[in-house]
Amino acid sequence: MGKHKHAKEHRGDGQVLLAERDGAPPRPDQPDAKPRMKEKEYQRELRGLHGELVALQEWVKDTGAKVCVLFEGRDTAGKGGTIKAITERVSPRVFRVVALPAPSERERSQMFLQRYVPHLPGAGDVVIFDRSWYNRAGVERVMGFCTERQAQQFLQAAPEVERAIVDSGVILLKYWLEVSPEEQTRRLESRINDPRKVWKLSDLDLMSYSRWYDYSRARDAMFEATDTTWAPWFVAYTDDKKRGRLNIISHLLANVPYRPLPPHEVTLPKRQKPDGYTEPDLRVRHIPTPY
Domain extents in the chain: 40-254
| Mean pLDDT in residue range 10-33 | 48
Helices and strands of the chain, counted as H and E runs:
9, 5
Give pLDDT, residue 29.
Answer: 56
In angstroms, the CA 20 to CA 11 distance is 14
CB-based contact 262:99 (threshold 8 Å) = no
Ranking 17-21, 107-111, 171-175, 200-204 by mean pLDDT, the lowest is 17-21
In angstroms, the CA 237 to CA 26 distance is 9
In angstroms, the CA 63 to CA 71 distance is 25
Give pLDDT, residue 30.
Answer: 58
In angstroms, the CA 168 to CA 171 distance is 9
Is residue 237 helix, strand or coil? strand
pLDDT in tens, 241-259: 999 999 999 999 999 999 9
**Res. 17 pLDDT band, cuts 50 70 90:** very low
Strand stretches in the chain, DSSP E: 66-73, 95-98, 125-130, 170-178, 233-237
Q: 202: which residues sit within 8 A by CB, 6+ positions away?
A: none
Predicted confidence (pLDDT) at residue 74 exceeds the cutoff of 70: yes
CB-based contact 175:71 (threshold 8 Å) = yes
The structure's pTM equals 0.86
Closest CA to 24 of 199, 256, 237, 267: 237
Average pLDDT over the chain, rounded to whole? 89
Q: Give the C-alpha distances (Å, rounded to integers) separating 151 from 22, 47, 137, 268.
A: 27, 41, 6, 57
For the segment(s) 40-254, the CATH number from 1.10.10.1100, 3.40.50.300, 2.40.440.10, 3.20.20.80 is 3.40.50.300
Q: 242: which residues sit within 8 A by CB, 6+ positions away?
A: 36, 37, 39, 42
Beta bridge partners of 178: 237
Closest CA to 89 of 248, 199, 249: 249
* Main-chain phi, psi angles of 247, to 5 degrees: -65, -40
Closest CA to 61 of 93, 97, 98: 93
